[in-house]
Amino acid sequence: MDAAIQAKIEAWLSNGFDQSTKDEIKKLQSENPNELTDAFYKNLEFGTGGLRGLMGVGTNRMNKYTVGMATQGYANYLKQSFPGKEIKVAIAHDNRNNSRFFAETVANVFGANGIKVFLFESLRPTPELSFAIRNLGCKGGVVCTASHNPKEYNGYKAYWTDGGQLVPPHDKNVIREVDKIASVEDVKWQGGEANISLIGKEMDDAYIKMVKSLSVYPDVIARQQDLKIVYTPIHGTGIKLVPEVLKQFGFTNVHIVEEQMVPDGNFPTVVYPNPEESEAMSIGLKKAGELDADILLGTDPDADRVGIGVKDNNGNWVLMNGNQTAVLAFNYMIEARKAKGIARPNDMVIKTIVTTDMIHHIARKNNVACYDVLTGFKWIAELIKSKEGKEHYIIGGEESFGLMIGDQLRDKDAVSAVAFLCEMAAYEKEKGRTLFQKMIDLYVEYGFYKEHLVSITKKGMDGQQQIATMIQGYRDNPPTMIAGHDVMQFLDYEMQKGKNLKTGEVWDISLPKSNVLQFILSDETKISARPSGTEPKIKFYFSVNDKLFSPADYEKVNAKLDQKIKSVINDLKL
């Protein structure tokens, strides 16, 4: 075994660590030395969003000690940033195994550092944490969750004063302070219990009131209150608030998927508790079919992602992808505000660079500013902050099943999105059509945009290196032709440069640095390559488009676009 790894293991077998941790290390030494090596070969990285990793003993795992050291570093930075001021933080957690324990560990460390802590009394959706930070005037916050990852994972997301996740310069500065915590002896573990207060129902009520205020057509809901809704929290935190929010909106015909209703960190009915995965939504789809429902909705464990199912033109239940859901939501918000006479000249919407460009066309036609930001809602939150007082934010979203409606919180919010999507379904039902038919009508009006995602996972010690080598290969030798079409533009967000491969023109990209590459083909196909910031994955995003002259041509054009995507994937040998 590498000497550096062995030294880390010996340190964890010394004083300062509890006996159960030492016993687990000794068990791995005798039974699974490869697992032990993976648990210690590096430190679990405190990235720009916080921590995420497998639970277990070791420096490369989520456990009491890695969580405590991260919190001590964050506490040190908060005290440096607000000298002489009262510092308050809010802390929440999801339903995952150990999430409550991690949240209490975080609370104890903050409290021991003289920071006032508002700890939710039990599991809550991530968006409510963002709302609570703003509502309570906190300087920061933490939610313990691994979002949609498998059951073996947990995580730690860090927030700033605006309720958004950390952005420059705070993200790098916090990382620097966390890296300075060399030992568990540097952590203040206890002694500040008096600084910790529990919060719950009052914050729930304030949050639900805010969500209810987002409704644009309460009169439509009143007429369509019996809209048949099927909802699954996929064993997660959504069960705490979604049913009540739907009730407050006025919906009376809501059916919860019983098999996935109880919060459970083992996620017994799914492999990946992610509404992006058809397997996770399969029980809900079956129930929706049996009930002949109008809409199916599912949220991930921390209730910041939402997936929806609807009936297609043949009466079959299908899942909408994140781009389609975003298009429907953005268009509804823009159209409804205009129809109600509440649109403002300075309204703006925000999407990420890998989210469908169809949204740009919708916004442009309606004279609404549309901005692109890097992947992640922290960048949406940062742009809102930079434009406060000048432009009016109404909705933001990303292709990975995230929406944020209104500016009363600063992270993606599946709780409000569920209610909003149900209102949209009610609005279309009153007009005699489904959300699927509305989607096709939008394709006729703005062009048929179709997106596809390919994720390639590279696990283990050399996985990250394989991903780095792959992305560097595209950067050093960008393809000039893909699937028979010339590559017209090459965008490198890490180098912050764009280049027209035909004319040689080069321009600056104004967004912050990010390890993302994009290729724009002569037929307007867009290909994006992005290593994940939270998982050992590289993701390839494909967007193709064509004209759709009539709803009757939908199947034919859909098949044509499918073939175009397949040709691109084959040419790239993915």
Question: Is the backbone peptide bond immediately before 345 cis, with ω within 30 degrees of 0?
Answer: no
Phi-psi map region of 324: left, alpha, beta (phi>0 left; psi -120 to 50 alpha): alpha
Determine phi and psi for 277, rounding to 5 degrees.
Answer: -90, 125
CA distances to 495, 506, 516, 545 from 502, rounded to whole Å, are 20, 11, 21, 22
Determine phi and psi for 537, rounding to 5 degrees.
Answer: -135, 155
Sign of torsion over alpha carbons 309, 312, 314, 318: negative
Residues 6+ apart with CB under 8 A from 27: none
Q: Looking up tokens 């464990």, which residue turns up? A: 301
CA distance 177 to 74: 7
Q: Which of 323, 264, 275, 270 is nearest to 297 (CA)?
A: 275
CA distance 331 to 292: 26
Helix or strand run (H / E) with residue 473:
helix 463-476
CA distance 231 to 418: 9
Q: Looking up tokens 């660590």, which residue turns up? A: 17
Beta strand 506-508 pairing with 497-500:
antiparallel
CA distance 427 to 233: 24
Residues 6+ apart with CB under 8 A from 34: none
CA distances to 68, 69, 145, 461 from 51, rounded to whole Å, are 11, 11, 9, 18
CA distances to 16, 418, 541, 566 from 574, rounded to whole Å, are 47, 34, 12, 10
CA distance 92 to 86: 20
Residues 6+ apart with CB under 8 A from 111: 117, 191, 192, 193, 194, 195, 196
Q: Which of 306, 311, 336, 333 is nearest to 322 (CA)?
A: 306
Q: Tell me which residues are annotated as active site.
A: 147
Written as one letter, the residue type at 62 is: M
